[in-house]
Chains A and B, each alone.
Chain A
């Protein structure tokens, strides 16, 4: 979005009205969630009465039709098919296919995506440092694609045009093979040309390598910060975490007060130079790229990522309540990249899950760690 024209006429006397209304708006947004309406400003309160949280995308996305749910994507790690080779090394095999699929990225807005395994982002490939990986990739799409992993590997396995296998043409397949190294929070994406289009059409996913000794037990989430240029004008119309704009505004993510929360955060947005993550009422430790066991930043509440940058966040909520998280690029937040955590006491967790249509299975997947 860069088509902002300058206002053409200047006059005085703006301040008072604007600030009163601004307060009303914020009060309305928070109040609606906590069901304690705080009317400020006479004109506005009458609208808040029948417009619950009107300052966001309207309606709900049909996740069943999409075939994926951003909430499930937080925890649905793909550990592959595990076996042991003659040297006693763990081998993990993954099946990934590329294809064309129309997805609903915001209520009522459909996007002609190119996707890995018919979902955006693609499967969250997870493994442990040193595992031998075989990624069987087949292209069922209409354009050539590749899988380019961030990590150590030979040039042949880099998944770019003209090197090694190069682009995998429609109807063809290829197996990418390398050892998981180094541990960290990584990503993979298609590297076919034109790169910009292949990425913003949806061809990316997370690639998490756990350290051999693992990380401390925590509730873990995968968050892919992505965006969509629906009118192909070189600017994004919808911003999100895990594709669907404002999904976590509607369905706050349930966490327990006091427990360690770990987020694998990746930024893949095209066109905009930076993205960021801001957590409300809290501070977190940050592990840039996740390649260290010690935080690279301590006690921060906002971090910035360029495209392809990623890292791990760790924090605990002290008190129950709804806590926002969003890009501290206000424009992205208001165009979809904004959500809530719902921190509850352990005894209230089951009902917090039920409120947003989740079950114990989701709880289990989020807390099992990476040693599977």
Chain B
């Protein structure tokens, strides 16, 4: 009885005094924080030795005789960098905005140093307490600065590793239309297999970037949450569509999106490799990616084998799946940002998982129509062949 009266009165009284009630803990929090800041809260004896920590985000060689290094202070306290060693020798430098970095503060150090083309250089930032923060230039080449010709060449790389293989894969579409239900189930399962491979690969790539992020980003949880959120959003989008069965074209688009984000990650890695002087890997790597990515074209078109959507949609699908490789190469080469790379790849993981789910449902549906169990030899071998194709072609691009 009393509960009813309370609930009845609450909406009316939800004003002034109620807001005050909500504010009380915040006001007290303010008091406690002020007390801690002003007096030290009686913990002054607990103050340990200073902790110095900084993360090196990027080392570039913008021109001959210049090394530039971007750092962020991801430790708990202010850090000063009074000296810098390059290859075990002290060199003068300039710091922007300052060589004293507050917590979460960033700085760019510019060191006049006659770096040597194609050789390795080691840079150590020495803190006021003599702690060394070490970075490496694996192979010294001038960091590409945006120019029209380089822009075009990076675009071409993206085209070769993204758009071309997806396009070639899509050319199997007319062949697939001739296939019977059994063979189609095999191809659907193969698509699930290659998507599973991509999900795992993208996940590992995302974590590789995440591990390098400054501590406060909490890289690995960031990847998990973003992957889960993008998975959730795409599932919700899928469920919002009418009926229980998803529109095949929409599934194709979502596969293309997931693959596109994966290819964006590949583009980033390739662009960054070029920027870091690993361009020698060039042609062989590109060839490998072209071969590796050709099955992606098959995956995109599988859901629409029985519903030809017309050339315009094919073009859009190819562009959505392959185009991001071009974008990724540009970003990786000119403005590599490990935070954005991590986020894009994490979204890719969620997107690919979602289409694994969608294509998986198609396999379940078609198997049920043929009165076969979901896990039969046809489906299972399709899955294994899909994974194996991706795995073995990756030999060409992993080292």
Contact = CB atoms under 8 A, between A and B. Distances in A.
Interface of A: 1, 3-11, 13-14, 17-18, 21-22, 24-25, 43-44, 47, 51, 53-59, 106-111, 228, 230-231, 237-238, 245-246, 331, 334-336
A59 B116 contact: no
Contacts of A57: 83, 90
B82 A107 contact: yes
Interface in B45-96: 63-66, 80, 82-83, 85, 88-93
A109 B128 contact: yes
B30 interface: no
30 contacts: A3-B122, A3-B134, A4-B122, A5-B120, A7-B120, A9-B118, A9-B278, A10-B118, A13-B117, A14-B118, A21-B65, A22-B114, A25-B114, A43-B63, A44-B64, A55-B89, A55-B92, A56-B92, A57-B83, A58-B83, A58-B92, A59-B82, A108-B80, A108-B83, A108-B128, A109-B83, A237-B85, A237-B132, A246-B90, A334-B90
Given A8-B120, A51-B112, A54-B91, 7 more contacts: A4-B88, A7-B119, A44-B112, A108-B83, A109-B128, A109-B130, A230-B130
B64 A21 contact: yes
Contacts of B65: 21, 24, 43-44, 47
Contact of A14 (B119, B131, B136, B280): B119
Contacts of A8: 120, 138-139
Nearest to A334: B89
B83 A107 contact: yes
B90 A1 contact: no
Contacts of B280: 9, 11
Nearest to B132: A231
A13 B118 CA distance: 9
Nearest to A28: B112
Contacts of B64: 17, 21, 43-44
Contacts, number: 125
A107 B127 CA distance: 11
Interface in B311-330: none
A228 B130 contact: yes
A335 B82 contact: no
Contacts of B128: 108-110
Given A8-B139, A21-B65, A110 B130 contact: yes
A10 B280 CA distance: 9
B364 interface: no
Nearest to B64: A43
Contacts of B92: 51, 53-56, 58
Contacts of B384: none
B129 interface: yes
B203 to A, nearest CB: 26
For the complex of A and B, the 10 pairs showing the least CB-CB separation, nearest first, are A230-B130, A108-B82, A334-B89, A54-B92, A7-B120, A21-B114, A11-B118, A47-B112, A43-B64, A9-B139
A246 B91 CA distance: 11
Contacts of A3: 122, 134
Contacts of A55: 89-92
Contact of A5 (B82, B129, B136): B136
Contact of B88 (A18, A24, A109, A331): A331
Nearest to A246: B90
A128 B138 CA distance: 57
Contacts of A5: 120, 122, 136
A370 B92 CA distance: 40
A56 B86 CA distance: 11
Given A13-B118, A17-B116, A51-B92, A106 B131 contact: no
Contacts of A230: 126, 129-132
B96 to A, nearest CB: 15
B82 A56 contact: no
A64 B89 CA distance: 27
Contacts of A59: 82
A1 B124 CA distance: 11
A1 to B, nearest CB: 5
A109 B126 contact: yes
B214 to A, nearest CB: 20
B285 to A, nearest CB: 13
Q: Name the residue in B85, B88, B91, B93 with the highest tally of chain A Cβ atoms < 10 Å from its Cβ.
A: B88
Contacts of B116: 14, 17-18, 21
Contacts of B126: 109, 230, 237
B122 to A, nearest CB: 7
Nearest to A229: B130
A8 B280 CA distance: 12
A58 B85 CA distance: 11
A353 B132 CA distance: 36
